[in-house]
Structure 1
């Protein structure tokens, strides 16, 4: 397992970018699912939606381990506040499972 305490500021910034993209991909997949009409398209949309959600949640778990507090405003600009390493890990997020902005 990687030592998350040794992540550089650049790596943490990259993680925030990945989280932002993963959230956008998840919301796009949700929109595609909501607009799907054909059974085959619905099946594909479900697969893509599940994959996008799992990627986002995985990245958020990494952020928690890094003790990065992640929040999103409606413009999807992520910001981070590094908590003190002696504090317990926490992630504050306006994301909720299955929600859209």
Structure 2
């Protein structure tokens, strides 16, 4: 805890800005994952999603140690946006094997 006692108001404001940016990047990575249909794009999206999540959680740990309250909007849904896209299947049929080819 001692390492954080010297934080100035400017540094705290910078931390809050970084947390807001990390949160936005996490949301963007989640949207990219939900919209990915190609195998390579899915792998990249998973990597980006994990990295964004780890960055956000790390910054939140620092804020917690500093006892800084961070307000994250309650309307953020980190689950699949599938309910918004009922007409679009999540299964990429290009990766499915044709049953007639066996």
- Select the structure that is richer in helix: 2
How big is the shift at 1:40?
0.5
**What is the alpha-carbon root mean square deviation over aligned residues?**
2.1
| Alignment partner, residue 21 of structure 2 | 21
How big is the shift at 1:20?
0.2
Normalising by structure 2, report the TM-score: 0.71
Q: Report Cα offsets for 1:47-91 as digits up to 9, x if no partner.
A: 000000000000000000101011134xxxxxxxxxxxxxxxxxx
How big is the shift at 1:2?
6.6
- Count of aligned pairs between the two proteins: 79
- 1:9 matches 2:46: no
Normalising by structure 1, report the TM-score: 0.71
| Alignment partner, residue 60 of structure 2 | 60
Larger radius of gyration: 2
| Alignment partner, residue 36 of structure 2 | 36
- Select the structure that is richer in strand: 1
What are structure 1's unaligned runs of at least 5 residues? 74-93
Q: For 2:17 and 2:23, locate their aligned partners in 1 and report how far apart those are by CA, in whole Å.
A: 10
Query: The residue matched to 1:43 in structure 2 has which SS?
Result: helix
CA gap of 1:36–1:2, structure 2 versus 1, over 3 A, is farther
Once superposed, which parts of structure 1, at least 4 consecutive aligned residues long, lie more than 4 Å away?
none
**Larger relative contact order (C-alpha < 8 A, sep ≥ 6)?**
2
CA gap of 1:46–1:36, structure 2 versus 1, over 3 A, is same
